[in-house]
Amino acid sequence: MLIEEARKGYANDLVKKAAEFENISLEKFLRLISHGYVVMPKNVLRDTAPKAIGMMCSTKVNVNVGTSIDHVNLDEEVEKVRVAEKFGADAVMDLSTGGDLDAIRRRLIKETRLPFGTVPIYQAARGCRIVDMSEDDFFEVVEKQCRDGVDFMTIHAGVNWESVEKLKRAKRLVGIVSRGGAITLAWMLHNEKENPYYKEFDYLLEILKQYDVTISLGDAYRPGSIFDADRVKLMEYVVLGELVERCRERGVQCIVEGPGHVSIDLIEPSVKAMKIATNNAPLYLLGPLVTDVALGYDHIAAAIGAAIAAKAGADFICYVTPSEHLGLPTVEDVKEGVIAAKIAAHAADLIKNEKAKEWDYEMSIARKKLDWEKQFKLSLDPEKAREIWSRRRSNYACSMCGDLCAIKIAEKFFEISL
């Protein structure tokens, strides 16, 4: 298992490649893994690309794909995975709820070497009425997906009776927007039993450790409105922090998920609070979205929040598409969402990562030289950049400035060499 190997000072080829990519000495990289500050999601049954998430690493981007009950098209989901990988995604999650979930998951896993994640309770809830699930159902689906090669799983183990009572007293506008959290809560209330994932957390860790699957501790109480960033959310951080310590004691890699809608002034305090409560566990955020009125443009609202969050210490960004809150994303929506999230991640990395600075430096030089081909090559979406440029172009400048190109003027009259 990766944590245990790191604690013994052993580094496999995957770890060595990741350390080199992140420009971290191997000795320091192993220490970060051994403490749980960095994770590398990889099921022992699968050949997964080396992606390190956490302290001192570049900000990573996750892409959600998957069917719904109303729309099942596996070929379309496969294309989404391919587009996500093409435009720089670092991980993929299958959130399918419609169709043959086993067949869909197994096909999508084959399509990529990126770390692959799921939310197992979605499948457990498909087999029967949610409230009729047995406690065994919660764990059997986890083991099944581990056997299929899933690298990381979102599991809402932080929901417990104490938090349920606090939620009842909270005056939230939207309530619970986490699908996995709502399923868990409904089961608990109907059956008047503790959350099986919380009650039998050690048993859950036994299953995950067998396959070295990374647990993503889900934020069941994440705010679905900027007005719902309340004490219920803060209380969940504390519970998740306790679970993080148990994961580390058992040698199971873990990350922690964070809020979805947060006003811009509360993002940095929220990130820092999560980092303190979880002892620097790698932090995985959806957005956060900084406003609730950006329907059709939520990928932009999320990118603004993600950049601020990553600057404050978030490690893993879950993309948001223009379809958020409206419907299942199309392939084009996936592309737009990935690029928006990559911009946010890169903007944050510019203040903490030399490799990111080198990328922008090369673009600045190409722009100074009016080297269009180099600019296209360095852009996040070369095809779109070229298409826009080709609409109206001159031989030496873009069509916006023409003869009044500042760079050309400076070259001619001020003898500033290109």
For 142-182, what is each residue's pLDDT tens digit?
Answer: 999 999 999 999 999 999 988 888 787 877 888 888 899 99
Domain boundary residue among 311, 344, 377? 344
Section 315-344 average pLDDT:
97
The pLDDT score that the predictor gives to residue 407 is 64
What pLDDT is recorded for position 272?
Answer: 94
For residue 300, the model assigns a pLDDT of 98
Place 374 in a pLDDT band, splitting at 50, 70 and 90: very high
pLDDT band for 396, please (50, 70, 90 cuts): low
101 sits in which H/E element: helix 101-110
Residue 368: pLDDT band (50, 70, 90) is: confident
Per-residue pLDDT at 138 exceeds 80: yes
Q: Are 189 and 228 in contact (CB under 8 A)?
A: no
Residue 409 has pLDDT above 80, yes or no: no
Residues 137 and 41 in one domain: yes
Which carries the bigger pLDDT value, residue 41 or residue 232? 41
**C-alpha dist (Å) from residue 300 to 70, 88, 291, 323, 334:** 27, 17, 10, 12, 13
Secondary structure of 343-386 in HEC code, one letter for each residue: HHHHHHHCCCCHHHHHHHHHHHHHHHCCCHHHHHHHCCCHHHHH
Residue 57 domain flag: yes
pLDDT at 241 over 60: yes
* Residue 398 backbone dihedrals phi, psi, to 5 degrees: -80, 165
Specify the pLDDT at position 415: 59
Residues 134 and 26 grouped into a single domain: yes
Alpha carbons 321 and 302: distance in angstroms, whole number? 9
- Three-state secondary-structure class, residue 92: strand
Confidence at residue 390, expressed as pLDDT on a 0 to 100 scale? 87
Q: Indicate if 246 and 367 belong to the same structural domain.
A: no
Three-state DSSP string of 244-308: HHHHHHHCCCEEEEECCECCHHHHHHHHHHHHHHCCCCCEEEECCECCCCCCCCHHHHHHHHHHH
State the DSSP code for 99. S
Is residue 109 domain-shared with residue 145, that is, in the same domain? yes
CATH of the domain at 82: 3.20.20.540
**Is 278 inside a domain boundary?**
yes
Using the 3D structure, point to which of 344, 365, 394 is the last residue of a domain.
344
Average confidence (pLDDT) over 374-387 = 95
Which tokens belong to 388? 């826009």
Averaged pLDDT of the chain: 92
Are residue 367 and residue 288 in the same domain, yes or no?
Answer: no
Mean pLDDT of 109-113: 97
Which residues lie closer than 8 Å to 168 by C-beta, 6 or more apart? Answer: none
Tell me: do 146 and 219 sit in the same domain.
yes
Q: Is residue 141 included in any domain, yes or no?
A: yes
Q: Determine the Cα–Cα distance for residues 276 and 278; give it in Å rounded to an integer.
A: 6
Specify the range with the lowest mean pLDDT, choosing from 265-279, 295-309, 401-415.
401-415
Q: Which of 214, 274, 238, 215 is nearest to 158 (CA)?
A: 238
pLDDT, one tens digit per residue, over 258-273 is: 888 999 999 999 999 9
Q: How far apart are CA 387 and CA 354, in angstroms?
A: 30
Looking at the structure, do residues 309 and 204 belong to the same domain, yes or no?
Answer: yes
Write phi, then psi, for 402 (nearest 5 degrees). 55, -125
Could you give the number of structural domains in the chain?
2
- CB atoms < 10 A from the CB of 257, how many? 24
Residues 160 and 299 in one domain: yes
Percent of the chain with pLDDT over 70: 94
Q: Is residue 418 part of a domain?
A: no
* Residue 412: pLDDT band with limits 50, 70, 90: low
pLDDT bin (cut points 50, 70, 90) of residue 293 is very high
* 102 shares a domain with 15: yes
Q: What is the largest CA-CA distance in the chain?
A: 80
Average of pLDDT values for 89-112?
Answer: 97
Residue 8 neighbours by CB under 8 Å, 6+ apart: none
Looking at residue 394, its pLDDT comes to 61
Residues 6 or more apart whose Cβ sits within 8 Å of residue 69: 97, 98
- What is the distance between the alpha carbons of residues 352 and 320, in angstroms, rounded to a whole number? 24
Is 349 a member of any domain?
no
In this predicted structure, what is the pLDDT of residue 170?
78
Tell me whether residue 85 is in a domain.
Answer: yes
The answer to whether residue 314 scores a pLDDT higher than 70 is yes
How many whole angstroms separate alpha carbon 32 and alpha carbon 48?
20
Within this chain, do residues 148 and 278 fall inside the same structural domain, yes or no? yes
| pLDDT greater than 70 at residue 414 | no
In a domain, 336, yes or no: yes
Residues 56 and 201 in one domain: yes
Q: Say what percent of the chain tops pLDDT 90.
A: 79
Q: Which domain holds residue 43?
A: 2-344
Q: Among the three residues 318, 344, 370, which one is the final residue of a domain in this structure?
A: 344
For residue 400, pLDDT over 80 is answered with no
Which pair of tokens denotes residue 43? Answer: 């099921």
Residue 399 has pLDDT above 60, yes or no: no
Residue 350 covered by a domain? no
Domain identity same for 163 and 310: yes
21-75 pLDDT tens trace: 999 999 999 999 999 999 999 999 999 999 999 999 999 999 999 999 999 999 9
Q: Is the peptide bond before 288 cis (omega within 30 degrees of 0)?
A: yes
